[in-house]
Chain A
Amino acid sequence: MTNPVTTATAATKDESGGTLSFYGIWLIAAVALVVLPLIFSSGGSLTSFSLIGISIIFALSYNILLGQTGLLSFGHAVQYGLGGFLAVHMMNAVASYDWPIPLPVIPLIGGIGGLAFATLVGWVMTKRAGTVFAMISLGIGELVASSSLILRSVFGGESGITTDRTALPHIFGWTFGPQLQVYYLIAFWVMISAIAMYALTRTPLGRICNAVRDNPERVEFIGYDPHVVRYFAYMFAGFFAGIAGGLTAINFEIANSAYLGATQSGLVLFAAFIGGTAYFFGPILGAILVTYLQLGLTNVTSVWQLYFGIIFIGIVMFAPGGIAGILMKHRPLIRARTLGTVIPSYLVAALPTLALVLGIILSIETVARYTASEGEGNVINLVGIPFVATAPTTWAVAVVLVVGGFLIARVTWRRVAEAWDRAATVARDRGYLA
């Protein structure tokens, strides 16, 4: 089939690049996944890598909906959670009936669970796009999460259902007891799923999804039913979310109703959006960042949710393309070799911006510590300098940093914009920027 609609994804642009570098990227990714645990071998890093791997699959599956088909879902965790539950039940069944099914196949069962539910409700849900879809996904999400607490025999109430991943038949002598083996299992599925989802973007279905996102009327004119296309996208997204859910079940050996909840749905939206939904690799960046923040930030500050909210608002307002969008903006400049003219203005802008960010952090922490009950530590350690939350000097420093940083940053960012325009003009002249 010829490509009937021009799309704005990275996929099309990549065709101009060499196939060699294309396969090279995937090869590097695979090697990195294998080598990573050898470099960072502590248990803590293994746990983090495993969680990041899972959330990469989850965020990529979400992007089939949001980025590719333009469906904003507030209930994506439903498929993820149901996949996890099916995987856990399957693992328990395999262990008790001695079926010859090894653990590495279990995520596929999770995927089938996600797919089955998506197939069931998807037809009705995807009738409409836009706000109606967003609301119905929210409704279904709440409905399933609440029902899971009522159907105790299936979902195990709020304590959930536990399983033992080592009780399944072993292959190659791997018990999957140690976290390292689980990591490699996850890494394997990350590779498979990422390749499959990337391939999906290159199929006619993937392309027509983009068309449905951009202009459903025209899709109808050329003989496709946007509803059917959305339905298929929804099923694929459900399948991969189910795989992520199955992997989570293997990693934690437990599935409970928190899997299905709004928090989980919100986090995947965060990850995909912060990473950037317009490019395939965007959600990967987002998943890495959000998971890392979740693991690290929660230990440093009690108001981590606020930072999440602020980062999110910042991205929505100033960089709706996400991190991937920011990075890809520089691509034509690099090709046209004009990036060098922008960098000095970046460096100038960096200092006041950093001051502004530090000022905001200091203000937030000051307020948080000041209002927190006694006994809470009220010394803030910012870039190695201790600040006492109750001291007026701290407040003064915070105000100076925020106000001063903001005023100067505004000027310097105007400079950046000017430098950018000049560089972009040159790039356009050289034919690298449309």
Chain B
Amino acid sequence: MAELIVISTLNGILFGMLLFLLSSGLTVIFSMMGVLNFAHASFYMLGAFFGYQLTRWIGFWPALVLAPLLVGAVGMAVERYGLRNTHKHGHVAELLLTFGLAFAIEEIVSMIWGKSPMDYRIPAALDFPAFTVFSTNYPAYKIFMLVVSVVIFVALLITLKRTRVGLIVQAALTHPSMVGHLGHNVGRVFMLVFGVGSALAGLAGVIAGPSLVTQSDMAALLGPILFVVIVFGGLGSLPGAFIASLLIGLIQTFAVALNGSLASVFGPLDPSLGPSPLTDIWNVTIAQVAPILPYVLLVLVLIFRPMGLLGTRES
């Protein structure tokens, strides 16, 4: 049992940090531009595929740097030539643009790389068990992922708190229009932020690709969870996104680790009742409902605290 707890905690934190790499960019973009970027998870997917391709050509370590930069460039192009032109039609149009973009990116990726999972391997230098908890190996690559996520988190924190750009971004989080009035080139800041946000998603893709799956439906798998994270944490709140990421990562991992259903607690129902929704609910295990727990949380939070955990603005 203790083994399960240690491993699940590690896995939960790791998944949570990955979610944060993605949600941080999404949150900052949303706060500044008011755009909920539906294609954000697609940038994550692009990162994984670029990472895979570059790894085959020039090796993993250069790919780790280059692939996120490429994704960032794609993101900036999307902002410059897509979103900026759509801005005049309102936020719904912007949201729909990214919605269509997510569709198109998925299809382009599967057109080029096919629909099967890629053989994207963990670099040999990191392909060994880092340590053994009780009898379970914990792979070094996962530790590497954790380290990268934490480093990025710290770097992001320092950038936001200590640099001029960070100051502008922070100001834009709470007072988006005021920043413009102060004479900053809002367009360029937007483009930069969008690029950095996409690059972060791309980085998450590059490091998650070998460990999880690199496949053309990976964006669609992760996308909805991402929205849960940023709405749950509070739209526009970075600390909120951080807490929500970790919380959802841990909840999902632990829900899977737990056995148990109403039937195992209260005993099985009288079989003479026959199949009914009650028996369905009675027999379902916590592990089975693990993937829908985030959505339950989302709905609850929106009902009782529409601004999210640490959010200040309602929409």
Complex: A in contact with B (CB within 8 Å): yes
A111 in the interface (beta carbon within 8 A): no
A353-370 CB contacts (< 8 Å) to partner B? 364, 367-368
Task: Report the bound CA distance from A72 to B38 in whole Å.
Answer: 14
B79 in the interface (beta carbon within 8 A): no
A170 to chain B, nearest CB (A): 31
* A129, A142, A266: the one within 8 Å of B295 (CB): A142
Contact across chains for A313 and B107 when beta carbons are under 8 A apart:
no
* A130, A371, A372: the one within 8 Å of B315 (CB): A130
A134 to chain B, nearest CB (A): 7
Task: Report the bound CA distance from A309 to B39 in whole Å.
Answer: 12
B68 in the interface (beta carbon within 8 A): no
A320 in the interface (beta carbon within 8 A): yes
Contact across chains for B101 and A72 when beta carbons are under 8 A apart:
no
Contact across chains for B104 and A72 when beta carbons are under 8 A apart:
no
Contact across chains for A152 and B280 when beta carbons are under 8 A apart:
yes
* Interface residues contributed by chain A, number (CB under 8 Å): 45
* A139, A153, A317: the one within 8 Å of B302 (CB): A139
A310 in the interface (beta carbon within 8 A): yes
Contact across chains for B235 and A309 when beta carbons are under 8 A apart:
no
Q: Return chain B residues, CB-CB under 8 Å to A316.
A: 86, 89, 93, 96-97, 100
Q: Return chain A residues, CB-CB under 8 Å to B224.
A: 138, 142, 262
Kindly specify which of A9-17, A143-151, A178-186, A412-420 makes contact with the partner chain. A143-151
User: Which of A131, A136, A139 has the largest number of chain B CB atoms within 10 A?
Assistant: A139
Task: Report the bound CA distance from A332 to B96 in whole Å.
Answer: 29
Contact flags A141-175 to B (C-beta < 8 A → 1, else 0): 01100110011111000000000000000000000
Task: Report the bound CA distance from A150 to B287 in whole Å.
Answer: 12
A305 in the interface (beta carbon within 8 A): yes
Task: Report the bound CA distance from A142 to B295 in whole Å.
Answer: 7
Show 17 A/B contacts (Cβ-Cβ < 8 Å), sorted by A: A70-B92, A72-B96, A128-B315, A142-B292, A143-B292, A143-B295, A146-B292, A150-B289, A154-B280, A269-B99, A303-B107, A303-B111, A305-B106, A313-B101, A313-B104, A367-B111, A372-B114
Q: 8 nearest interchain CB pairs?
A: A309-B104, A309-B103, A312-B100, A306-B107, A139-B298, A313-B100, A153-B275, A130-B315
> Apart from A143-B292, A312-B100, what are 11 other A-B pairs with CB-CB below 8 Å?
A128-B315, A139-B302, A150-B284, A153-B279, A305-B106, A306-B107, A313-B100, A317-B82, A320-B86, A368-B111, A371-B112
